[in-house]
Structure 1
Amino acid sequence: MTRPSIAEAEIVVLVQDSEWHSLGFDAESLCREAVGSALSAADVHDEKLEISIVLAGDQMVRRLNRDNLGQDRATNVLAFPGDSLGGELPRGAPCLLGDVVLSRSTIAREAKEQGKPVADHVRHLIVHGALHLLGYTHDTEDEARTMESLETSVLALLGVPDPYAAGGPDLGDTA
């Protein structure tokens, strides 16, 4: 059997907040590149995949965070898993990994506070969210080390400095 390439992964980017276009970079292309790199680094080649990235604002993220996690606040990233890799799917159907939702306002504010380019922070949060959809967690120290190591490897390939070198960022919530 021929293993699908990452190019067969469908990466859907939905822009819900038009202010994403004002950040000075092509957010949609950046998302596709970051997700593709995360999938490749996690060695995911065995299924047709679909992942959605939602570029939202604080209001939408706050509502999703409140309704799904019981936290009435905006955050930088939320990940909502879909199908599990290796699960039973109808013939030819893609594995719907889930959705990664990002808040432009929160991310831009955090990037400014942390003295890093917004694009680098977005790349990190996309990679982080995609890894959550693939089943990676940071619930224990060992899991956190594994996930952070994979994140920093992917980010290095994307030209992004290690975000954990200075104590680590707050990476939001996952549902």
Structure 2
Amino acid sequence: MNRQQRIYLFDIQKRAYTEGTVEQINDQWIFFDEESEEAAMLEDYLQQEIEIFRKNRWRKGILFESGKIRIGNEAIMLRDHDLVRIRKHLIYSLERLLEGINDDAFFHFITTLNSLNFSIFDCIYCYNHLSFLSDEQRKDGVNFMVFDNQEQICNVQHHFCYFEKINDRFEFTLNTGKRLIIEKMIS
């Protein structure tokens, strides 16, 4: 699995974006979150990935100025009530964890999480013990993650041992009592 395949798995995640509309009020652009109905200054999202819905499709760009999106070499001006979506950020410790595990473990973790109707963007807590072992030759321990998809909670324990063999075991436990364990070993 290469970097592009990992990025593709990120891109197809549910709930990866905060969707809403924008309005210009008193010469300032305001973003209204569709789900929470909260308002935020659009300038808080400068230099971040944003998508605008134009001509019946989403167009991806970077918000480079309040009210302006750069899509390739083109600058698009926002209009009142434009539908936009802003890419959510992963919790830093989860992002580091996903970068630190091998491709097979990454793929199996993400696809299993998705099969349980959770997205990596549903993560509300992550303890990444692996990040504290970067200088160790033998790395073993447990990482803890909690996901909330607004309908269920999923707790994930990632048991790992990286020494002579690479062993990743993920234990998924839902608030309903359903449990799933996947294990990936590489010699």
- Asked if TM exceeds 0.5, the reply is no
Name the one with the larger helix percent: 1
> Which structure has the larger Rg over C-alpha atoms?
2
Name the TM-score, length of structure 2 as normaliser. 0.30
Name the TM-score, length of structure 1 as normaliser. 0.31
Name the one with the larger strand percent: 2
